Structure 1
């Protein structure tokens, strides 16, 4: 591997490079296979080299990749229609390129709503401690993690942090326009919000004509078993943001909302957002995943994967405390003195890809269509690591 560095040192990269993938297996430069329980941090919803996705990319590349949003884009309109139908909400979509951009769009929309919907301007947005909403200046400030705010100020005003949903309710005041939450915090420990508290928050916001923004960048696109995690919570947000799994590796983001008459022409936009390539691929991905969900295979996969997580927690109580998360967005809480980084590295050594989250959570985000055979192989390798660590602790 070339050690010459022409890249800014922004990532704590593991010492490996992948050259190809098939289904839920990646291959390095030496041809070694790795079971992927991370899916590019929840991006590769259909794993690698899906035949229908490849066919869509080739077909679109032979026609047109990009024009501009000053012209009509047919696959973008089709994709918006599909997303709205799958959501079951009466909404419209704005397309961009990432989760951060989708969240930035949500914040701008909420701020405009706060400016025009009330006699006195409302601008404050409450977010939840340990949330993660992006790395732009504004979405970084929305991210309620103090250690990520060093060096980059001054920041835009108007963000308030609550330790939990109940405190968010108590912090709502005359300047508040919205509360922005992740129903499961991806970077913040795979922590799942309490359903009753979220529903109470939604009720209070609706009563006061304030906005509920749900960041589903990681939880959306069937990762929970339903198209949206919001559907499990039986709430109707005003704004939902999506990205990651929408196009299984092609950059795309979506801000969808029931506030249809707030943004005017020129208020917002994107050069690349929703172009022919990204939305064509997304249409294919959504069709595949809808069929996969309706067939019962997704639910079967979720149960099978969860059984393995439950097995490890029960069998190795000296290492593991509990399971966190939902669907195929899962975490294992490690006991004290178990080194998270060491497990991630050992997993790589044993040819499994896993992720960390927070300070003591091992995170699993496999492709949604990962086969039972691939799950079994991956966890068989994982148990070798666990046994090694368990012996060390005894």
Structure 2
């Protein structure tokens, strides 16, 4: 394969090459079909091969793909408007190309916000252990998993890790400017944080003038059933980051904030961020999923998927200790890591794609538009795979 000669070996790739897809069904180069319970790790929110998204991208590509942010970009302005209106918050957006970039932008906003003449510099940002915020040098350091910090230091200073949400308040000091959390830790094991504790923390931070930054790279854009997990938790963060499902597969990242006067011209930038193609993708995806939500179809899909998952857990309680998550961001706790690895391999053999999260969680991130037939087929294949263990 060309990969071994020309691509750096940073992924332990499965020996499968996909050539086409339709909604939650993928076909590989050998003609084998798979039910996709991963959506490219929460990215392909409107499914593979969506006609409306494909047509919008083709039409835009025929006109302009890229200019640069030195000029006005009408599709970017339209996408920003839709994102802000869907969020329900009074915010403005900056466009990048990934979740890590969005989180870098959030950190820069917070750090500048903490720079006040004549006062001690506030620069510390508290994050949670087992969090994941990206793979750039700064976002790796923001990530509260010690194993992620191997090899790549020295790192930027100023990140403090809390064992859990209960400890955060005690770590806030005169140099703290922000707290960055995922409301549901994705890579950390599909671990939702208690809603009342989040609301209590938000009120405390507002009182202390410490910014609440919510990383919604994985939870955003209807993954949890509402446009934002922040909407589900009934809080109003100071900064929110989005990526993954926003572009439906086209790379994009957004940091949005109500602190509109912090960054000025030259403080931040991105060559590709929010260009014509990416903005068109985001605008189209928001339109599609907003209509899907309003029709009631999203809620129906969430209920149906949850029922299937809970039935699987109960049928194999010797393997799965509990079902976790909400919306279409779900997981099953597995008795041990070896069994989890065996399930993922067997599932792939039987034509269904699932993910690992943390040490012992089987993770499910299907396209939000997954049909009941695709669910039925996927869970039937998963049942067969489990039967081979």
TM-score, length of structure 2 as denominator length: 0.98
Q: Tell me what 2:365 maps to.
A: 365
Shift of 1:23: 1.3
Question: For residues 73 and 305 of structure 1, what CA distance do their matches in structure 2 show?
Answer: 39
Shift of 1:116: 2.5
Match runs of 1:169-248 below 5 Å: 169-248=169-248
Matched-pair contact (CA < 8 Å) for 1:25–1:36: yes
Q: Tell me what 1:53 maps to.
A: 53
Question: For residues 118 and 75 of structure 2, what CA distance do their matches in structure 1 show?
Answer: 37
Question: For residues 149 and 337 of structure 1, what CA distance do their matches in structure 2 show?
Answer: 22
**3-state DSSP of counterpart to 2:5:** coil
Matched-pair contact (CA < 8 Å) for 1:319–1:338: no
Distance 1:176 1:225, change over 3 A: same
Match runs of 1:108-123 below 5 Å: 108-116=108-116, 119-123=119-123
Shift of 1:174: 1.0
Give structure 2 stretches of 5+ with no counterpart.
none
Distance 1:101 1:125, change over 3 A: same
Distance 1:68 1:311, change over 3 A: same
Match runs of 1:288-307 below 5 Å: 288-307=288-307
Matched-pair contact (CA < 8 Å) for 2:337–2:359: no
Q: Tell me what 1:15 maps to.
A: 15
Shift of 1:294: 0.2
Match runs of 1:9-158 below 5 Å: 9-116=9-116, 119-158=119-158
**3-state DSSP of counterpart to 1:160:** strand
Distance 1:65 1:248, change over 3 A: same
Matched-pair contact (CA < 8 Å) for 1:36–1:366: yes
Shift of 1:118: 7.7
Matched-pair contact (CA < 8 Å) for 1:328–1:366: yes
Question: For residues 84 and 319 of structure 1, what CA distance do their matches in structure 2 show?
Answer: 42
**3-state DSSP of counterpart to 2:160:** strand
Shift of 1:162: 0.4
Q: Tell me what 1:355 maps to.
A: 355
Shift of 1:325: 1.0
**3-state DSSP of counterpart to 1:168:** helix
Runs of 4+ in 1 over 6 A off after TM superposition: none
**3-state DSSP of counterpart to 2:388:** helix
Residues 61-101 of structure 1, C-alpha deviation per residue, up to 9 Å, x if partnerless?
11000001000000000000000000000000000000000
- Name which of structure 1's ranges 116-125 and 181-190 shifts more when overlaid on structure 2: 116-125
**3-state DSSP of counterpart to 1:34:** strand
Question: For residues 3 and 207 of structure 1, what CA distance do their matches in structure 2 show?
Answer: 53
Matched-pair contact (CA < 8 Å) for 2:73–2:276: yes
Q: Tell me what 2:272 maps to.
A: 272
Matched-pair contact (CA < 8 Å) for 1:127–1:180: yes
Question: For residues 168 and 132 of structure 2, what CA distance do their matches in structure 1 show?
Answer: 16
Q: Tell me what 2:249 maps to.
A: 249
Matched-pair contact (CA < 8 Å) for 2:313–2:321: yes
Shift of 1:388: 2.6
Residues 118-174 of structure 1, C-alpha deviation per residue, up to 9 Å, x if partnerless?
822111000000000000000000000001101100000000000110111111111
Distance 1:157 1:4, change over 3 A: closer
Distance 1:243 1:3, change over 3 A: closer
Question: For residues 117 and 328 of structure 2, what CA distance do their matches in structure 1 show?
Answer: 39
Question: For residues 4 and 260 of structure 2, what CA distance do their matches in structure 1 show?
Answer: 50
**3-state DSSP of counterpart to 1:5:** helix
Shift of 1:387: 2.3
Q: Tell me what 1:284 maps to.
A: 284
Question: For residues 342 and 53 of structure 2, what CA distance do their matches in structure 1 show?
Answer: 35
Question: For residues 170 and 332 of structure 2, what CA distance do their matches in structure 1 show?
Answer: 31
Shift of 1:339: 1.9
Matched-pair contact (CA < 8 Å) for 1:241–1:256: yes
Distance 1:58 1:170, change over 3 A: same
**3-state DSSP of counterpart to 1:116:** coil
Question: For residues 151 and 35 of structure 2, what CA distance do their matches in structure 1 show?
Answer: 38
Count of residue pairs the alignment pairs up: 389
TM-score, length of structure 1 as denominator length: 0.97
Shift of 1:236: 0.5
